[in-house]
Amino acid sequence: MKSYAAVDLGASSGRVMVGRVDPDSLELTEVHRFPNRPVRTPEGLRWDILALYAGVLDGLKAAGALSGRLDSVGIDSWAVDYGLLDADGALLGNPVHYRDGRTEGVAEKVWATVPADELYAATGLQYAPFNTLYQLTAARSTAQLAQARRLLLIPDLLAYWLTGEQGTELTNASTTQLIDPRTRRWSYDVAERLGIELGLFAPLRQPGDPAGVLRPDVLEETGLTGPVPLTTVGSHDTASAVAAVPATGERFAYICTGTWSLAGLELTAPVLTEQSRAANFTNELGLDGTVRYLRNIMGLWLLQECVRAWGEPDLGALLLEAAKVPTLRSVVDAGDSAFLAPGRMPERIAEACRASEQPVPVTPAETTRCILDSLALAHRRAIEDAQRLADHPVDVVHVVGGGTRNALLCQLTADACGLPVVAGPTEAAALGNVLVQARAHGLVGDLPGMRGLLTRTQPLTRYEPRGGTERWRAAQARLAGD
Ligand code: LFR
């Protein structure tokens, strides 16, 4: 049996898991979990990257203590954000958080140079204010960018600190909006027209590529015995999560749930049509030449922010109460980027209901139910749109990630989609991370082989639709103003 450490960083917490793998078994153990608390500085919202790195080192130490030795380490995290290095390789400031307001109004400037339709045709990426391309445009005249000689995306930055080697992992690079999803290479034309220096990026790496070995002082600090190789995984957490969708055929949709809901399809080629752009679908790159054709939905962020505002009440009790609130009493557009920024979430949801002349949720249970119904509805819409736009019908929806713990959300999603939902695994990103490492070392086969091992080893829960799809259809039409 081999032991692989998966570092998986989410927007609100980071964790280090140890995956023990042989061709017939796969066991995942969480060895360390630590908070990821963004910090509002006078300059704006920033990631506390040193705290994250310290959490990674502590986690690797715990992983070594559990396993004796590690066969390899892989890192995945959220996308789009980066650190800048100066000519000496030193980090210039704390990485900016993608929810920071600096990109407000930047898209219009970008589109004045490269119109939105051309940008979509070239990069296949949905409009999101935080795509790296808009962040770099917002930073254009800063002293920091002028001084920068290297840009490393978050997992690549941590990999550099662990190994001393630099690279740009492809699945995450695809979220910069500077990659052409057909060639899976940089889009030189887009970068040149926008004055973005592609030389800032380190050479592209593919999931499975070796990425160096842990530096001697990392070994010393973690107590690990070297050499411990770092293996490139799908370093975008969503790429790793999609790799761990336990699908058995091709006719499936997936929803990666957590802070975000990423709902869509796995395709073999990007969909770059004007209809697809209008529907705000993205073509991010996945493992083995696949495309993650999906839409970003605000996800459990809406609930996390409310729970924070309510002073962290017991979630289990809240969900039980929410289950008693009538279905579809009021819904908001869970795809609306008006909900992107932190703060005042219960009020913002109430305001959205008031503005659309629906009953205004008052109690935490009513607000929670409004959020879950709204998410289920947004899931339905994304999966329906994706099937139509990609001409790729599905029979089942796989829900992976943190939302699998929320049985009400899974059942409502099955009801709304009118399709069975298979929920699990919860730690999909970490499992995808581990499996890509195991594959790089010859322990498991290709994507279907990885998924087969998951189906055989991971607990999955099935939710059948309970009928009433018509009501969801009507709610969707109402929300769209039809
Ligand atoms: C999910 C995720 C999404 C990405 C968002 C911002 O954790 O990686 O895929 O759109 O975070 O990076």
- Give me the half-sphere count of Cα atoms (radius 13 Å) on the Cβ side of residue 432: 32
At 214-255, the pLDDT tens digits run 999 999 999 999 899 999 999 999 999 999 999 999 999 999
What percent of the chain stands above pLDDT 70? Answer: 100
Please report the DSSP string for 177-234 in residue order: T-EETTTTEE-HHHHHHTT--GGGBPPEE-TT-EEEE--HHHHHHHT--S--EEE---
Distance 256 CA to ligand 1 centre (A): 10
State pLDDT tens for residues 140-182. Answer: 999 999 999 999 999 999 999 999 999 999 999 999 999 999 9
392-418: per-residue pLDDT in tens? 999 999 999 999 999 999 999 999 999
Closest Cα to atom 11, ligand 1: which residue? 78
pLDDT tens, residue by residue, 90-145: 999 999 999 999 999 999 999 999 999 999 999 999 999 999 999 999 999 999 99
Percent of all residues in the chain with a pLDDT value above 90, rounded to a whole number: 97
Decide: 415 in ligand 1 pocket, CB within 6 A.
no
How much is the pLDDT for 481? 80
What amino acid occupies position 39? V
Q: Cβ(238) to ligand 1 under 6 A?
A: yes
- pLDDT computed for residue 169 by the predictor: 98
Which atom of ligand 1 lies nearest, measured to the CA of 284? Answer: 9
C-beta of 296 in contact with ligand 1 (< 6 A): yes
In this prediction, does ipTM exceed 0.90? yes
Q: How far is the CA of 334 from the centre of ligand 1 (A)?
A: 15
Q: pLDDT category, 421, cuts 50, 70, 90?
A: very high
Which residue, 269, 255, 294, is CA-closest to 126? 294
- Please state the pTM of the whole predicted model: 0.97
Nearest partner of 204 among 234, 172, 167, judged by Cα: 167
Q: Is the pLDDT of residue 480 over 90?
A: no
Alpha carbon nearest to ligand 1 atom 9, residue: 238
For residue 227, say if its preceding peptide bond is cis, omega within 30 degrees of 0.
Answer: yes
Give residue 337's pLDDT: 87
* Separation of CA 207 and ligand 1 centre (Å): 18
pLDDT of 23: 86
CA distances 441 to 22, 122, 265, 435, 475, Å, are 11, 35, 28, 10, 49
Output the CA 364–ligand 1 centroid distance in Å.
27
Cα torsion at 435, 402, 40, 196 (round to 10°)? 50
Q: Which atom of ligand 1 is least distant from the CA of 80?
A: 12
In the reported structure, the alpha carbon of residue 468 is separated from the centroid of ligand 1 by a whole-number distance in angstroms of 32
Residues ≥6 apart with Cβ < 8 Å to 317: none
- Is 8 tagged catalytic? no
Average pLDDT for residues 301-318, to the nearest whole number? Answer: 97
**Nearest alpha-carbon partner for 245 in 454, 462, 39:** 454
In angstroms, the CA 230 to CA 71 distance is 9
CA distances in angstroms from 159 to 165, 363, 388, 436, listed in the order given: 7, 45, 39, 16
Tokens encoding 19 = 């995956």
Integer Cα distance of 130 and 97 in angstroms: 9
- Set 76, 180, 237, 333: catalytic member: 237
Q: Whose CA is nearest to atom 7 of ligand 1?
A: 78
pLDDT digits (tens, 9 = 90+) for 194-215: 999 999 999 999 999 999 999 9
In this prediction, residue 36 carries a pLDDT of 97
Q: What is the pLDDT of residues 276-295, one digit of tens each?
A: 999 999 999 999 999 999 99
Structure tokens at 472: 């969801």
